[in-house]
Amino acid sequence: MSFLTLQNIKKSFGPVQVVHDFNMAIEKGEFISFLGPSGCGKTTILRMIAGFETPSDGDIVINGRNQTTLRPNQRNIGMVFQAYALFPNMNVFENVAFGLKVAGKPKSEIGARVKEMLALIHLEHLADRYPYQMSGGQQQRVALARALAPKPEVLLLDEPLSALDAKIRVSLREEIRQIQRQLGITTIFVTHDQEEALSISDRIVVMNAGRADQIGTPFEVYNKPETRFVASFVGTLNILEATVVDPASATIKIGETTLKLAEPIATHKQGDKISLALRPEAGTLSASENKDSSISGKVLSSNFLGSVIRTRLDVAGHKISFDMFNNPGMQPPEHDSVVTLYFDARDLLVIRE
């Protein structure tokens, strides 16, 4: 049985339904990221798990116990917010100890647990500091320690890194993942940053307009997007429109170029229009026996991005990009030249709307 189960969860605010029939089973110790743009429902689901919102319908079951109608203080859940939410009149030690004091733990147990938590986040030397005396990254570490101190069953992280600069975000997200693995705590992380979700998650829930468009591992979500939204939201992606020539043999046509797909399209009929996805890194200008498909196009631009050169092509009226590693011995293709892009048929994915 799954550790955390969300069954047919719905949520409406007045006449507006913001979460539509959401279902998910989460295993103990999993790190799950809810990824999506603002207003997609990801934070609302997090708040329902925490008890700050009550589902309009459905059940939330944690460790075999239905907690749908329980108040936040009746659930054994730790939460870290975007804005730190530390108590300004308490020092680091007192902030981390707060939940333990509310729970009525003995003083000796509180001291030992706080010491353990500060060691976990490497801030033992700042126990007497106040929030205003600390950096944003340090404050967020303290917020994490405070959430973990009471030994919650589930840890909820609501865009905890969005207020930090890029370099600190990378180091802190890696630290959060390391701590989560060390403690083995079931964790749900809400973010709109695809790189964050891809880099630290066991599974990703891609949210779109109150629904889960796709749930899968980072590898699955990136390499095998199931909808146009997932394909366009997660990573840079080229969308090509094609015409079905022969469904039985999976033959399609892009402009004047005929190609065979690696996946079946038997549910379509001749003449149908379908959408195809191709990642920029899938293509190369060098003919290779490992690349069994190709399309030609006119070079619109080549942009030097350091380790990568991104080239834009016009392929039968479609503007697509492809990336190649910077090679000092190879000049990027010239503007207005016609080039052939080689790729594997398996990299051309059929996507549903």
Cβ-based neighbours of 71, under 8 Å, separated by 6 or more? 51
**Confidence band for 212, pLDDT divided at 50, 70 and 90:** very high
Q: List pLDDT tens digits, range 149-194.
A: 999 999 999 999 887 888 888 999 999 999 999 999 999 999 999 9
Q: List pLDDT tens digits, range 35-61.
A: 999 999 999 999 999 999 999 999 999
Summarize the confidence of residues 75-95 as an average pLDDT. 92
**The pLDDT value given to residue 305:** 82
**The pLDDT value given to residue 353:** 65
Summarize the confidence of residues 187-210 as an average pLDDT. 95
Tell me: pLDDT of 84 over 70.
yes
Q: List pLDDT tens digits, range 92-108.
A: 999 999 999 999 999 99
Nearest-angstrom CA–CA distance, 222 and 201: 12
Summarize the confidence of residues 21-31 as an average pLDDT. 97
311 phi, psi to nearest 5 deg: -110, 135
Q: List pLDDT tens digits, range 286-341.
A: 777 678 888 999 999 988 888 888 899 999 888 988 888 888 777 788 889 999 99
**The pLDDT value given to residue 328:** 79
**The pLDDT value given to residue 282:** 87
Residue type, 265: I
What percent of the chain shows pLDDT beyond 70?
Answer: 99
State the average pLDDT for the chain. 92
Tell me: pLDDT of 75 over 90.
yes
List residues bridging with 207 in a β-sheet.
Answer: 212
- Number of other CB atoms surrounding residue 88 within 10 Å: 8
Pairing of strands 31-35, 16-26: unpaired
Determine contact, residues 212/41, Cβ cutoff 8 Å. Answer: no
Cβ-based neighbours of 280, under 8 Å, separated by 6 or more? 236, 237, 238, 310, 320, 321, 322, 323
Nearest-angstrom CA–CA distance, 316 and 256: 8
Pairing of strands 186-191, 31-35: parallel
One DSSP character per residue, 229-287 reads HHHHHSS--EEEEEEEEETTTTEEEETTEEEE-SS--TTS-TT-EEEEEE-GGG-BSS-
156, two tokens: 């909820």
Burial classification of residue 306, based on how many CB atoms lie within 10 Å of its CB (0-12 exposed, 13-18 middle, 19 or more buried)? exposed
90 phi, psi to nearest 5 deg: -115, 145
Complete domains list, the chain, with CATH: 4-232 (3.40.50.300), 236-346 (2.40.50.100)
- Closest Cα to residue 279, out of 253, 305, 314, 240? 240
